[in-house]
Chain A
Amino acid sequence: MADYLLVESRDPFEYADTSYFYQMAEDLCKAGNNVTFFLVQNGVIMARKGISNDAIARLQSAAPAVKILADDFSLRERAITADKLADGVASSDVDALVDMLAVPGVKAVWH
């Protein structure tokens, strides 16, 4: 079992390849790994409540153990306030991202 930190900076409305990254998070989790899915920049757009074709909800349903975090700086820039945050997504920050990066053995992947 390994620890994965997947950083998603893109949103599915602009990049079709985001679906592969979400799928990778699901597959890694189902294979028994610890997976943190960290949304940043336009990636946080998917953390807004009420989105149709909801990739976050699908990921949560398929792999509930995936920890989904969203960068608060990126959320603020896009007017996604705490009450607009999708269920299951926790607000986080770059400090927390660095803490995760600083753990030996964590496999970090940026998309």
Chain B
Amino acid sequence: MTTSGDKTITIALMDPPYESGTTTTALRIVDAALRKGINVNVFAYEGAVNMTMKAQAPHPNPVKGTSIEEQDHPSTARFIAGLFELSQSGPALDWINCGLCVDERGAGDWIEGPRRGGPGDLFKMSQASTNTLIIGTR
């Protein structure tokens, strides 16, 4: 593990939850960076603003016959809450949900941690970062 507290990575994420492997990869990147001591900014826009919805509910798996508890469905909100927990003891995680995208989707009820912003914040984050990775859907 490297410790790089002076470094910051910004990631722009557009994918909605549960649609592509990109969500998992992006969260893995955030996790790896935080564990290395690198600060992370996330700018979630379009469908990605749904990732932090507080009311995301786990479900059983009727195909396998497993209950909610047995299935232990990993929601994106739970993943991201875990990332915020990780950032409590080390590098910072700043997660901005695009307000325009949130309003369009009625997706404003989040877990603790994310804040509301706009496209201008992505520019500011990028300017203040070591590097920026823009992950588009198409």
A contact set with B: CB distance below 8 Å: 7, 9, 40-42, 71, 73-74, 94-95, 97-99, 101-104, 106, 108, 110
Whether B29 is near chain A, meaning CB under 8 Å from some CB there, is yes
Q: Which residues from chain A contact B54 at a C-beta distance below 8 Å? A: none
The size class of the interface chain B forms with chain A is: 20 to 34
B contact set with A: CB distance below 8 Å: 2, 4, 7, 9, 20-22, 25, 28-29, 32-33, 36, 38, 130-136
Q: Which of B4, B7, B33, B135 touches A110 (beta carbons < 8 Å)?
A: B135
Q: Which of A41, A102, A104 touches B33 (beta carbons < 8 Å)?
A: A102
Q: Which of A94, A102, A103 touches B28 (beta carbons < 8 Å)?
A: A94
Q: Which residues from chain B contact A110 at a C-beta distance below 8 Å? A: 133-136
Instruction: Indicate if the CB atoms of A94 and B22 lie closer than 8 Å.
Output: no
Closest residue of A by beta carbon distance from B1:
A95
Instruction: Indicate if the CB atoms of B25 and A102 lie closer than 8 Å.
Output: no
Instruction: Indicate if the CB atoms of A101 and B25 lie closer than 8 Å.
Output: no
Q: Given the complex of chains A and B, what is the CA–CA distance between A41 and B24 in angstroms?
A: 9
Instruction: Indicate if the CB atoms of A108 and B131 lie closer than 8 Å.
Output: yes
Q: Which residues from chain A contact B2 at a C-beta distance below 8 Å? A: 99
- Given A41-B22, A94-B29: A101 and B134 interface contact (C-beta under 8 Å): no
Instruction: Indicate if the CB atoms of B22 and A98 lie closer than 8 Å.
Output: no
- Given A94-B28, A102-B36: A9 and B131 interface contact (C-beta under 8 Å): no
